[in-house]
Amino acid sequence: MYMGMGTADDIPLSVLFPQSSAAGLESLRRAARGVGGTQAGAFAKGWDWWPAYSVFAGPQSETWVILILCAVQPSGDGDWLEFQLQVGWTELGQHEVSASVNVACMCEADHGTHDVGVLTFVVGDEISLPQAFEACAERMTVQLTDSRDADFWRAREDLPTRRM
C-alpha cells in the first residue's frame, strides 16, 4: 500500500483530511511545523502518512493511522524511547489525535513497550481536528523538552527502570 514520508511541509494535508476547511488545513500545517520547537530539525523528516486511510471505511481489526510523527531517541546502553504524535480513526469513524512517549518495557513480565504521558482527543463537538492536533503537537514539544531519558518516563509512571 502506498504511503508517504517527509517533512511537515511535504504532508498532503488536503488529501489526508479532505473534510477540513482551508483555515483548518492551515492550522494543521502550522502545528505540524511547530512540533519540537527549536529542536524540530532533528526529526524533521519523521512524518509518515497513508492516503488510503483518509476516508473511514468501517471498523478495522487494526488501528488505522492516517498521519504520524515518530522521533526515536537513543537513551543509554541499548535503550531508547519514541516520541509520537498521530492521527487515526476510532472504531466509530471519528478522528482520534494522540501524543505519547513509548518506552521499552523493563518489567519482569515482558510487555514489549509502554505508552506513557498519553494525551488523546476524539474529534467531535467538543474539539475540532485542528484544535486537537495543536494540543497534541504542543504536548509532544513539551515532552521532548522534559527528558530524553527513557528511565525518567518509566519512573514517572511507576514502571520498573533499567538502572537499579
Positions that interact with Zn ion (CB under 5 A): 105, 107, 111
Asked whether the beta carbons of 72 and 86 are under 8 A apart, the reply is: no
- Kindly tell me which of 10 and 157 has the beta carbon lying closer to Zn ion: 157
Kindly state the smallest distance separating residue 144's Cβ from Zn ion, in Å.
23
The least CB distance from residue 107 to Zn ion, in Å, is 3
Least distance between Zn ion and beta carbon 125 (Å): 36
* Exposure string over 133-154, b if 16+ CB within 10 A, otherwise e: bbbbbbbbbebbeebbbbbbbb
Minimum CB separation from Zn ion for residue 154, in Å? 9
Are 46 and 69 spatial neighbours (Cβ–Cβ below 8 Å)?
A: yes
Cell of 144: 521532548
CB of 45 or CB of 111, closer to Zn ion: 111
What lies within 8 Å, CB to CB, of 113 at 6+ separation is 102, 103, 104, 105
Q: How far is the CB of 65 from Zn ion (least distance, A)?
A: 23
Separation between Cα atoms, residue 37 and residue 98, nearest integer Å: 18
CB closer to Zn ion, 115 vs 138:
115
Q: Which is nearer to Zn ion, 95 or 114 (CB)?
A: 114
Non-local (6+) Cβ contacts of 139 within 8 A are 99, 117, 119
Decide whether 139 or 154 has the Cβ nearer to Zn ion.
154
